[in-house]
Amino acid sequence: MILIGIDPGLTGAIAMLDHRGAFANLADMPVMERHGKAAYVKNQVNAAALEQLLRDWTAAYDRNEIHIVIETPIAFPGQHSATTAASFLTAGHIEGVVAARHYAHELVRPRDWKKALELSDSKEQARARAIRLWPPAAKLLERVKDHNRAEALLIAKYGWDKLN
């Protein structure tokens, strides 16, 4: 089983583990400028680029070998409604691309995958764990702001552990 973890968001990331659970691919979420008059968000997921990335990564596999885990966004108390709407719009674009490719997928709440992997909400802890689990990915995780990449890998690990 090939596992792909997606940390949604405009600064999110996509990660792939191979059939052994080893690091295979990692990329930042492709985004593009949102067109239109006074859009409430300036950028959005580039669905066509995301679809192409997933197609390229999975070309050597049968659809039945691929499982994708997408972190579901959560609304925070006091968060501006436009920010909340943008988060859910982004997740919707991602899930739409995944569904259009006919990939098996599931949504997971942040607290559920973090609890299963015994992680706190610390972004640095997630980054350190991902580096420890997948040394070949360390170069792609060396910056503090690479925590989204680390979380995408860990979301894939959550799916891997759950299915294996």
Per-residue pLDDT reduced to its tens digit, 17-33 = 999 999 999 999 999 98
pLDDT of 38: 59
On average, the pLDDT of the chain sits at: 93
User: What would the mean pLDDT of 28-49 be, rounded to a whole number?
Assistant: 83
Tell me what percent of the residues of the chain surpass a pLDDT of 90.
80
The band of 59, judged by pLDDT with boundaries at 50, 70 and 90, is very high
User: What would the mean pLDDT of 137-164 be, rounded to a whole number?
Assistant: 97
pLDDT at 161 over 90: yes
pLDDT of 75: 76
The band of 39, judged by pLDDT with boundaries at 50, 70 and 90, is low
Tell me the three-class secondary structure of the chain, residue by residue.
CEEEEEECCCCCEEEEECCCCCEEEEEECCEEECCCCCCCCCEEECHHHHHHHHHHHHCCCCHHHEEEEEECCCCCCCCCHHHHHHHHHHHHHHHHHHHHCCCEEEEECHHHHHHHCCCCCCHHHHHHHHHHHCHHHHHHHCCHHHHHHHHHHHHHHHHHHHHC
The band of 76, judged by pLDDT with boundaries at 50, 70 and 90, is confident
Per-residue pLDDT reduced to its tens digit, 117-133 = 999 999 999 999 999 99
Select 2-163's CATH number: 3.20.20.140, 3.40.50.300, 3.40.50.150, 3.30.420.10: 3.30.420.10
Q: Where do the domains of the chain lie?
A: 2-163
The band of 36, judged by pLDDT with boundaries at 50, 70 and 90, is low
- Looking at per-residue pLDDT, the higher value among 93 and 82 belongs to 93
pTM: 0.94
